Structure 1
Amino acid sequence: MKSYRDLDVYNLAFDYALEVHHVSLKLPKFELYEQGSQVRRSSKSVKDNIVEGYGRRRYKQDFIKFLVYAHASLLECLSQLEMIQKLYPDLKIKDLLNKYDILGAKLFNFIMYVEKDWK
């Protein structure tokens, strides 16, 4: 593994952050800087914390800490998306919610791998 770009969890988080960004821009204007901004920041935080953790991978506990931060940001993003789904069902973000559920499981498994097998 030469780069964080080799991590499946990073690539998925990046792609999903792009999807969230585009979906959030379809919110009503008054939500762009409230709900929209919050969901964009939390989705981008997932990928950013994976990258920062990878940058500190030499120190296993730092790597794990930032992966846990990424997972926490993912949960925040899920919560924001669930709220958006309830408030604006026309946006049809169920598929995105499912993607983040799967990413959450992958990220959790990656954290377990780093804890047990990362050298």
Structure 2
Amino acid sequence: MRDYISYTVTGTGANGCSAQTPAEITIKVIPEITSILYNIEICKGDRALLDAVFGPNYTVHPAGVYTVRISNGVCSKIIIANVLYITTPEIVEIVYNNNMLTVFVKNKGNLPLEYSLDGG
């Protein structure tokens, strides 16, 4: 990407006469401010690493709303990230019948439920 774009401009008056000397206009191209900072969910007691790429890293705890201002020397932009606690599922009922254990849960969150028989 070029840092500058130049244009040559010639003025024309109401009488149709053009200026004898054209003007050159140079515009500095400023890249758009972007960030890979995004919302994340964590378990209570865990930590989240927010990386704004252009600035320092932020280790955060507990959950909350975090902002970082990124500047490219000409413009600045505020990026917002939410660190939310994962909603813990609710065990509604546990039934043991004919050597079969069934656990009924209510999912209060947005993420699919996972389970493990061996804690792994």
Normalised to the residue count of structure 2, the TM-score between the two structures is 0.25
Which structure features the higher share of strand residues? 2
Which protein, 1 or 2, shows the higher relative CO under an 8 Å CA cutoff with sep ≥ 6? 1
Q: Larger Rg: 1 or 2?
A: 2
TM-score norm. by structure 1 comes to 0.25
